[in-house]
Amino acid sequence: MTALERLPRPELLSPAGDMERLRAAVAFGADAVYLSGKSFGMRSAPANFGPEELREAVEYCHRRGVKVYVACNTLPRNEELTVLPDFLRQCAAAGADAFIVSDLGVLSLCKKYAPHVALHISTQTGIVNYAAARTCAELGAQRVILAREVPLGEIRGIRANTPESLTLEAFVHGAMCVSFSGRCLLSNYMTGRDSNRGECAQPCRWEYTLIEKERPDRAFTLLQEEKGAYVFNSNDLCMISHLPALIRAGVGSFKIEGRAKSAYYVATVTAAYRRAIDFFLEHPDDPLPEDILAETEKISHRAYSTGFYFGGEPGQTTDRSQYTRKYELAAIAQGREGGYVRLTQRNRFFQGDTVDVLQPGMPPFTAPLEHLFDQDLSPISSAPHAEMTVLWKTDAPVQPGAFLRICRS
Q: Where are the domains of the chain?
A: 3-178+234-305, 327-407
Q: What is the pLDDT of residue 234?
A: 77
* Nearest alpha-carbon partner for 84 in 108, 118, 49, 58: 108
Is the CB of residue 327 less than 8 Å from the CB of residue 299?
yes
pLDDT value at residue 389: 96
- Tens-level pLDDT at each residue, the chain (409 residues): 555 666 679 999 999 999 999 999 999 999 999 999 987 755 555 578 999 999 999 999 999 999 999 999 888 889 889 999 999 999 999 999 999 999 999 999 999 999 999 999 999 899 999 999 999 999 999 999 999 889 999 999 999 999 999 999 999 999 887 665 566 667 665 676 766 656 777 776 677 677 777 777 877 665 545 555 566 677 889 999 999 999 999 999 999 999 989 999 999 999 999 999 999 999 999 999 999 999 999 999 988 999 989 987 667 666 666 678 899 999 999 999 889 999 999 999 999 999 999 999 899 999 999 999 999 999 999 999 999 999 999 999 999 999 999 998 7
What is the per-residue pLDDT for 335? 93
**The pLDDT value given to residue 295:** 97
Burial 78-111 (b: 16+ CB within 10 A, else e): eeeeeebeebbebbbebbbbbbbbbbeebbebbe
Per-residue model confidence (pLDDT) at position 246: 97
CA 140 from centre of chain: 26
Distance set, CA 140 to CA 41, 74, 147, 212, 266 (Å)? 21, 19, 19, 52, 31
Question: Rounded to whole angstroms, how far apart are CA atoms 154 and 274?
Answer: 26
User: DSSP string of 239-254?
Assistant: -GGGHHHHHHHT--EE
Residue 278: DSSP 8-state: H
Asked if 124 and 180 count as a contact pair (C-beta separation under 8 A), the reply is no
Phi, psi dihedrals of residue 328, rounded to the nearest 5° = -135, 150
Tell me if 3-178+234-305 shares its fold with 327-407.
Answer: no
Q: Is 55 left (phi over 0), alpha (psi -120 to 50) or beta?
A: alpha
Answer for the pair 11, 29: CB distance below 8 angstroms, yes or no.
no
The two beta strands, 236-238 and 304-305, are parallel
The per-residue pLDDT for 175 is: 85
| Structural contact between residues 278 and 272, judged by C-beta atoms closer than 8 angstroms | no
Contact between residue 147 and residue 180 where contact means Cβ atoms under 8 Å apart: yes
CATH superfamily of 327-407: Translation factors (2.40.30.10)
How would CATH label the architecture of 3-178+234-305?
Alpha-Beta Barrel (3.20)
Among 154, 142, 85, CA closest to 310: 154
Pairing of strands 210-211, 253-256: unpaired
